[in-house]
Amino acid sequence: MSSILFFEQLLNGIQFGTMLFLMSAGLTLIFGVMGLINLAHGSFYMIGAFSAALIAGLTGSFWLALLASLSGAAIAGVLIEILIIRRLYRRDHLDQVLATFALILLLSEGVRWCFGAFPLYLDIPKNLNGTLLILDDIIYSKYRLFIIFMGLLIATGLYVLITKTRLGVRIRAGQNDRQMISALGVDISKLYTIVFALGASLAGLAGAMIGAIQSVEVGMGEPILILAFVVIVIGGIGSIKGALIGSILVGVTDTIGRIFLPELLKIFMEPASATSVGSSIGSMLIYILMALILIIKPSGLFGKT
């Protein structure tokens, strides 16, 4: 195993992690502020990717497409929050899980209706195509570096938003004491809509950026949704810091585990069975990690007990 391969995989893991962060930041905010488990968060990822593919097809511009993914998912978020989600805040977790599960069915089939069952493709812009030489012998995809950069940018942006702005103060206050801030005259239902739309638009952006390396199709959001749940459970539900650390942890563990576990097992086992056992355990690794963390700390790394 060369160190170059390891470094490349590490970067892949971080890239995956930053995208997971875009998903899980919204998820954890929505849970922290409104107390809502939103299974339909993956649908915003899908809606973002489809909005981007639509606009990219019409205008040919990748940057407009990214903008479209943000606004498309945000608009969908506002509509769905006002029509359905709003009624679920006071319900128990079971109702929330089921209603948002139903929303997944509704949104997935709705998108299939509009765009058909075939996957769409989103092109990477020319100046991000190709590779870049970093640290004299490691060649890495420019676009993936761009994704990491965007992820870090948004993480910083969120940090500033939450800690330095008036909206951030309200969001934090909402996490601590809902009744109190509505008593103090903050329009709580508007705040909820804003937080929901913010989460949705981040998910949408992640969908568009990943859609450009994979394909844009119905059901693309669910696998990453489950991973985002793993992330926020590991990080502690409601904690953005937890979501960031959890995302990188999950992204790196998953990528590195899948590649290196079979290699590691080859030291002890015959190659054929090492490959199959290694890849099986590699794909289960993050769930094992989550189970371990929950057994040691039942409310996640940064969760409130």
Partner 1 sequence: MIVEKIFNKWILVFLFLIPVLGFIFEEPYYITLTTKVVILGIAGIGLNLALGYCGLISFGHAAFFGLGGYVTGILSFHALNSELMFSWPFVSSGSSDMLVIWPIVILSSAFLALIIGLLSLRTTGVYFIMITLAFAQMLYFFAISWPNYGGEDGLSIYMRNSLPIINTMDPLTFYFICLCWLLIVIFISAKLINSSFGMAFQAIKQNEERVKSVGIETFKVKLLVFVISGTITGLAGSLYTDLNRFISPSVLNWQMSGEIMVFVILGGIARLYGPLVGAAFFIVLEQTLGGYTENWQFWLGLILILEILYVRTGILSLFEKKLKYEK
Q: How far is the CB of 168 from partner 1 (least distance, A)?
A: 24
Q: Which residues form the interface with partner 1 (CB under 8 A)?
A: 31, 37, 84, 87, 91, 93-95, 97-99, 101-110, 112-113, 222, 226, 229-230, 233, 237, 276, 279-280, 282-284, 287-288, 290-291, 294-295, 298-300
Q: How far is the CB of 132 from partner 1 (least distance, A)?
A: 32
Task: With beta carbons less than 8 A apart as the criterion, state whether 16 and 148 touch.
Answer: no
The C-alpha angle with vertex 296 and arms to 261 and 225, in degrees rounded to 5, equals 60
Q: Which long-range contacts (CB under 8 A, 24 or more apart) does 145-152 make?
A: 145/11, 145/15, 147/15, 147/18, 147/19, 147/209, 148/11, 148/14, 148/15, 148/18, 150/18, 150/205, 150/209, 151/15, 151/17, 151/18, 151/19, 151/21, 151/22, 152/18
The C-alpha angle with vertex 12 and arms to 50 and 26, in degrees rounded to 5, equals 50
Which is nearer to partner 1, 151 or 235 (by Cβ)? 235
Which is nearer to partner 1, 157 or 271 (by Cβ)? 271
**Gyration radius of the chain over CA positions:** 20
Q: How far is the CB of 233 from partner 1 (least distance, A)?
A: 5
Name the phi and psi angles at 301, rounded to 5.
-65, -45
Which is nearer to partner 1, 28 or 51 (by Cβ)? 28
Q: How far is the CB of 185 from partner 1 (least distance, A)?
A: 29
Which is nearer to partner 1, 44 or 62 (by Cβ)? 44
Q: How far is the CB of 35 from partner 1 (least distance, A)?
A: 9
Q: How far is the CB of 239 from partner 1 (least distance, A)?
A: 13
Which is nearer to partner 1, 104 or 147 (by Cβ)? 104
Which is nearer to partner 1, 93 or 164 (by Cβ)? 93
